[in-house]
Amino acid sequence: MVQAKANGVDGMALALMEARAAAARGEVPVGAVVLREGVVLASAGNRTLELKDPTAHAEMLALRLACEEIGSERLIGCDLYVTLEPCPMCAAAISFSRIRRLYFGAGDPKGGAVENGVRLYASPTCHHAPEVYGGLSESEAAGMLREFFRAKRS
């Protein structure tokens, strides 16, 4: 079983809270949290609509905040928890930031780039591949996304 907690901090529970907050703002419900040694360095939810920025995915925002917090572009020894499998942009940023472990909730057959799509970390040109653990709180994360898009369609 994959360890979902780091020193008692449940990174996926915090990421799910960020996803719920994103949904409440009308954003696609994706949340992300960066932890190092059980300490939350950063957390964020999607803000692409609010910021009018196509790069304002939860992962990108959390990575930026964590880098600011520690004063480095490298997040050595840090773990990222995200509610949805990262897209190619986010997967590349995770690689470049040297995240140690990536934990994600729901897989993304259409837009994912870790276990689906381009499978960036399996590419021979990938600079750094984190340890990857998918499926944490998958049903809750996927259900939140399904409900959000169902409501958008009606």
Catalytic residues, which ones? Answer: 59
Decide: 35 and 15 in contact? Cβ < 8 Å: no
Residue 90 is labelled as binding a ligand: yes
Structural contact between residues 43 and 33, judged by C-beta atoms closer than 8 angstroms: yes
Cβ–Cβ under 8 Å, residues 95 and 130: yes
- Distance separating alpha carbons of residues 127 and 147, to the nearest angstrom: 36
126 annotated binding-site participant: no
- Residue 87 annotated as binding site: yes
3-state secondary structure of 75: coil
Contacts of 49 (CB under 8 A, 6+ apart): 25, 26, 27
Annotated binding site for Zn(2+): 57, 87, 90
Annotated binding site: 57, 87, 90
